[in-house]
Structure 1
Amino acid sequence: MTNQNTTGKLTTHVLDTARGCPAAGLKIELFDLDADNSSPLVTAITNNDGRCDAPMRNASNLRKGRYELRFHVSDYFTAQNVILENGQFLDVVPIQFVVADETAHYHVPLLVSPYGFSTYRGS
Structure 2
Amino acid sequence: MKSVAILKTLGAALCLSVACSASYAQDNSASAPAAAMAAPATSAKKADRKLGYTVRKALSKAQGVDVSNITVRSHGGAVTLTGTVPDEGQIDKAGEVAKGVSGVTSVTNKLTVMQQ
Provide TM-score, normalisation by structure 2. 0.24
Which structure is larger by alpha-carbon Rg, 1 or 2?
A: 2
Considering Cα pairs closer than 8 Å and 6+ residues apart, tell me whether 1 or 2 has the greater RCO: 1
